[in-house]
Structure 1
């Protein structure tokens, strides 16, 4: 998995590429937390994410909790059907902002 960072107005956008699994979820969590240190709102662009594991879901929940504590936003965009289905089945689509 690789992550590219881009400033998007008042938000930081992290473009995630590859699978978010047990091996890469720590990297995702670290990058999300680093982005929140720079800006109160973070967008995750999942256009190139084909798979997310339960470890990846944990990283997303930590991102959402961080956004809430900072009064910011945490948004997931361009997730494919497989990732959206995982979020739906786990009930996280109700907790996370997914577009």
Structure 2
């Protein structure tokens, strides 16, 4: 998994490439939570994400909880069919802000 970030008009974009799974979810979560500490809007770009496991879902949930508790916004964009299917099956499609 590769993680980069860049500024945009709203805040910052967290660009993720590869798999968010048992081996990489902790690194993803740490990057996400650090950005949510500093920025009011964090956009997570899933364009190059191949797979999200339950560990990855937990990281997303923790990010969403942090955003909610601090009055910030976490937006997920460019969700592919594979990831969207996982989000739908688990009910995360209703928890996360997806554009």
Category of TM-score, reference length = shorter chain: over 0.9
Hey, what does 1:20 align to over in structure 2?
Answer: 20
Q: Deviations over 1:30-50 (max 9, x none)?
A: 000110121122100000001
User: Is 1:97 matched up with 2:90?
Assistant: no
Q: CA deviation at 1:19?
A: 0.5
Q: Distance in 1 between matches of 2:11 and 2:67?
A: 12
**Equivalent residue, structure 1, for 2:44:** 44
Using the size of structure 1 for normalisation, the TM-score is: 0.96
How many residue pairs match? The answer is 99
Counterparts of 1:1-99 in structure 2, within 5 Å, are 1-99=1-99
Distance 1:14 1:66 in 2: 16
- TM-score normalized with structure 2 length: 0.96
**What residue ranges of structure 1 are gaps of 5+ in the alignment?**
none
User: Where do 5+ consecutive residues of structure 2 fail to align?
Assistant: none
Residues in 2 aligned to 1:42 and 1:51: alpha-carbon distance in whole angstroms? 20
Q: Which runs of 4+ in 1 moved over 2 A?
A: none
1:47 aligns to what SS in structure 2? Answer: strand
